[in-house]
Amino acid sequence: MQIRKLNANEKPPFGLLLLADPSLKLVEDYLRRGYCFIGSLNDQIIGVYVLLPTRPDTVELVNVAIDEKHQGQGNGKRLVEHAIRIAEELGFKTIEVGTGNSGMGQLALYQKCGFRIIGIDRDFFVRHYDEEIFENGIQVLDMIRLSQDL
């Protein structure tokens, strides 16, 4: 998989971005403020992530998505590892990520990539999303926050 920054004149891959975050409003907001990277295989976009500066020296990985046909093949891990390298190259000292309480695969992935759980934002998804979200048969209520020093 080749990973590169989305060009300014390119349309973001909203189909993938909305897999990881169902709020078009939130996605459009952080795309304007962040750095979007795409992963391609045979000239087809199969993955995406966004880095969003949040505080001095801190960046958040706000959206990591892999096309469903390409999941379970290490592509998500490649994107997360690339995001960590880019955050470090950009001079950030800390990278953070948040995921829903029901995202067992995501929680495992982030921890395998060196992130540590730092807290829980209770009812995050109830406060910020109009519709209920379910994953793995569990309602997504809380945001599990993870962090890694670079």
pLDDT in tens, 113-130: 999 999 999 999 999 888
Pairing mode, if any, of strands 143-149 and 44-55?
Answer: unpaired
Statement: the pTM of the whole predicted model exceeds 0.95: no
For 117-130, b/e burial (b = at least 16 CB within 10 A) is: eeeeeeebbeeeee
pLDDT computed for residue 129 by the predictor: 86
68: Cβ–Cβ under 8 A, 6 or more apart, which residues? 19
CA distance 21 to 23: 6
- CA 15, 19, 23, 27 torsion-angle sign: negative
22: Cβ–Cβ under 8 A, 6 or more apart, which residues? 129, 131, 133
CA distance 145 to 73: 25
Structure tokens at 130: 């109009």
What average pLDDT does range 24-32 have in this prediction? 94
Pairing mode, if any, of strands 35-41 and 44-55?
Answer: antiparallel
Of the pLDDT bands very low, low, confident and very high (cuts 50, 70, 90), residue 136 is: confident
Of the pLDDT bands very low, low, confident and very high (cuts 50, 70, 90), residue 82 is: very high
User: For 88-105, what is each residue's pLDDT tens digit?
Assistant: 999 999 999 999 999 888
